Chain A
Amino acid sequence: MVRMFSKRNLTIYAIALLLILGLNFLLPRMMPGDPLMAIYGKDALVQMTPDLQADLVERFSLDESMWQQFGAYFVALFKGDLGYSYHFNEPVFDVILGRLPWTLLLVGLSLILSTILGIVLGIESGWRRGSKTDKTMLGGIMALNGFPDFFLGMVLLLVFGVSLGILPLAGAMTPYSGLSGGALVLDVLKHLLLPLAALTLAHLAGGYLLTRNTMITVLKEPYMLTARAKGLPSRVLKYRHAGRNSMLPVITMTGIWLGRVVMGELFIEIIFSYPGLGYLTYEALLARDYPVIQGVFLLGATLVLAANFLVDLCYPRLDPRIRHAH
């Protein structure tokens, strides 16, 4: 039955991918006016010569039918050809590849940190439900949850960067510093600290609230009573019996939250001028550099899809009940 589960999932992801590709292909071609402008953006027109124009029309099969155009688009994608950015004067693929590591560093670390922190705080809070610690934590985190991530980022930037001046304001490392080894790592970490803190704080609440809610339910289960009757220490009860079961919903939700993290990531990178994909999107939006916007869209959407798919694959392994449920 496990196989049926993943077959259904494959259909979902196939539909999702098709929607994304379709949108990416159709949007620029349905815009009124010159499709070359819509596909290539503002900067391309400045450099446009009749030769280049003929070349581009041929490359995208723009003089052929929609279906042939879609075929050409698909073949190009398959070869890893995302087009050429006339704003950055580089193939889109290379532009994106240069920015990707920074985003992965920031998103990866903040996702790990906020998940772990959310689960641990949720377990502690649910364990002490109704106590003063629980109420303070719940109130505090709910209030924190109300701050949009970009506002949180701006306040951190203004307080620690501008007013106190103890942390750098922008970028991912000090330019032209010629640092290497330990000093370079330290420099990167210093630049990472504020954006990472903002993103982690902004995404703490989801995992915390979910873990706390599940914890409250799990604590009422009969097996908890049995475990307590066996005289197990509360640390074991809390983390091994209740905590482990409270983690499951958080892990399922991580995939869906990833969409929200992408959004937070975008804002935080813009505020701290952190040179990842989010800041690239912003630069491309300002320059109307459509090939880059499309490239980032395709990559971002596919990455989120892939992460969701992985979560779906892992879930039955983490919760054996799912395997027998179908």
Chain B
Amino acid sequence: MHIDLKKEVAHSGSGRFGIALFLLIVILAIFAPLLAGYDPTAQSPVDLESPSLSHLLGTNHVGQDIWSQLLYGARTSLLVGLSVAFLSTLLSAIIGASAALIGGLYDSIVMRVVDALIVIPVIIVLILVAAYLQPSLWILIILLSLLGWQGGARIVRAQALSLKEGMHVSAARSFGASRLYLIFRHILPDLSPILLVELIYSMRRAVFMEAGLAFIGISDPNMVSWGMMMRESLEFSYLDVWLWWLLPAGIALSLTIVSITFVGHALEPVMDPRLRGEASA
């Protein structure tokens, strides 16, 4: 049952590629102020300029430097992705594990709510709520987390249930191990691979949703976002600007999502060991 995650990812070509790409994006985001050259929100009188040495990707409709916007956009995407992944996985772990370990009426009530939340289309709820609240970045992160834990909770619960009945746990119990000892020593460590996979998939979902919501105009006006860049550039699709405005933003977002997907796919044998042996593909 103990799975070596590092080996799992290192053995997979796409997993290594995914991690390298993701780290590159993280580095670009961290050093954005050094690499950008301009304040991404500062407007200049030269709008819709073509790429040049002073503006690597030209300027947008209000004269903002697109290269700088692209770098700062990575910060927004990663901030939302990582925060939501962490918060919603935490919720999944607490709710799923407690349902499995406490059981009884609590378990059935929690699982009915989880099932109900799974069939509700999250994006429609988000749009309705956002239409009223017009969320700031942090409110958006909280909303995405509150609507993103249900699938993970179900997986965590199933895993915790089978762990609870596992041979090594019964053995420890028969030696007189306390409940807390069992939870911290046996159940939580064995849940960690599943939680990691859950973390990666929630991050992917969150990055995607943030960009999508920004694309339809639901975003923090103080933050630069790739989704927002794409929406703004679409209005100028009749000009050539889309080549250095829309495409870089779309490609940056796609590469971020691809890198997360590849890491997740390399970890999939953790969820389903029957697939093992192909991770080297």
* A residues whose Cβ falls under 8 Å from a Cβ of B: 11-13, 15-16, 19-20, 23-24, 27-28, 31, 38, 129-130, 134-135, 138-139, 142-143, 145-148, 150-151, 154-155, 157-158, 162, 213, 216-217, 220, 255-256, 258-260, 262-263, 266-267, 270-271, 281-282, 285-286, 288, 290, 293-294, 296-297, 300-301, 304-305, 308
Give the nearest-CB partner of A288 in chain B: B131
In the complex, what distance in Å separates the CA atom of A31 from the CA atom of B131?
Answer: 11
**Residues A293 and B122 in contact, CB atoms below 8 Å apart:** no
**Residues A162 and B217 in contact, CB atoms below 8 Å apart:** no
Min Cβ gap B158→A in Å is 15
Subset of 24 A-B contacts with CB under 8 Å: A20-B125, A24-B128, A129-B278, A146-B255, A146-B258, A146-B261, A148-B208, A150-B215, A151-B230, A151-B253, A154-B250, A158-B242, A162-B242, A213-B272, A220-B274, A259-B120, A259-B122, A262-B123, A282-B217, A285-B217, A286-B217, A293-B127, A297-B125, A304-B119
**Interface stretch among B82-90, B109-117, B173-181?**
B109-117
**Residues A282 and B257 in contact, CB atoms below 8 Å apart:** no
**Residues A263 and B120 in contact, CB atoms below 8 Å apart:** no
Which of A31, A259, A300 meets B132, CB within 8 Å? A31
**Residues B237 and A266 in contact, CB atoms below 8 Å apart:** no
Contact bitstring B245-281, A, C-beta under 8 A = 1, else 0: 0110010011101100110010010001011001001
Contact bitstring B124-161, A, C-beta under 8 A = 1, else 0: 11011101100000000000000000000000000000
Interface residues of B in 79-118 (CB under 8 A from A): 112-113, 115-118
**Residues A143 and B121 in contact, CB atoms below 8 Å apart:** no
In the complex, what distance in Å separates the CA atom of A258 from the CA atom of B124?
Answer: 12
In the complex, what distance in Å separates the CA atom of A203 from the CA atom of B190?
Answer: 33
Min Cβ gap B253→A in Å is 6
The answer to whether A301 and B125 touch (CB under 8 A), given A146-B255, A293-B131, is yes
Which of B120, B132, B254 meets A151, CB within 8 Å? B254
- Please name all residues of chain A whose beta carbon is closer than 8 Å to the beta carbon of B255 when the two chains form the complex: 146
- Please name all residues of chain B whose beta carbon is closer than 8 Å to the beta carbon of A304 when the two chains form the complex: 119-121, 124
- Please name all residues of chain A whose beta carbon is closer than 8 Å to the beta carbon of B119 when the two chains form the complex: 12-13, 16, 255-256, 304-305, 308
- Please name all residues of chain A whose beta carbon is closer than 8 Å to the beta carbon of B62 when the two chains form the complex: none
Min Cβ gap A70→B in Å is 17
Min Cβ gap A284→B in Å is 8
- Please name all residues of chain A whose beta carbon is closer than 8 Å to the beta carbon of B268 when the two chains form the complex: 213
The answer to whether A27 and B212 touch (CB under 8 A), given A146-B258, A213-B275, is no
**Residues B120 and A20 in contact, CB atoms below 8 Å apart:** yes
The answer to whether A12 and B116 touch (CB under 8 A), given A213-B275, A293-B127, is yes
A-B contact count (CB 8 A): 149
In the complex, what distance in Å separates the CA atom of A145 from the CA atom of B272?
Answer: 21
**Residues A155 and B216 in contact, CB atoms below 8 Å apart:** no
**Residues A15 and B113 in contact, CB atoms below 8 Å apart:** yes
**Residues A142 and B250 in contact, CB atoms below 8 Å apart:** no
Q: Considering residues B127, B215, B242, B265, which has the most beta carbons from chain A within 10 angstroms of its beta carbon? A: B127
**Residues A293 and B128 in contact, CB atoms below 8 Å apart:** yes
Which of B116, B127, B257 meets A146, CB within 8 Å? B257
In the complex, what distance in Å separates the CA atom of A290 from the CA atom of B133?
Answer: 12
- Please name all residues of chain B whose beta carbon is closer than 8 Å to the beta carbon of A308 when the two chains form the complex: 119
Which of B216, B217, B258 meets A142, CB within 8 Å? B258
Q: Considering residues A146, A155, A290, A300, which has the most beta carbons from chain B within 10 angstroms of its beta carbon? A: A146
Which of B124, B211, B246 meets A158, CB within 8 Å? B246
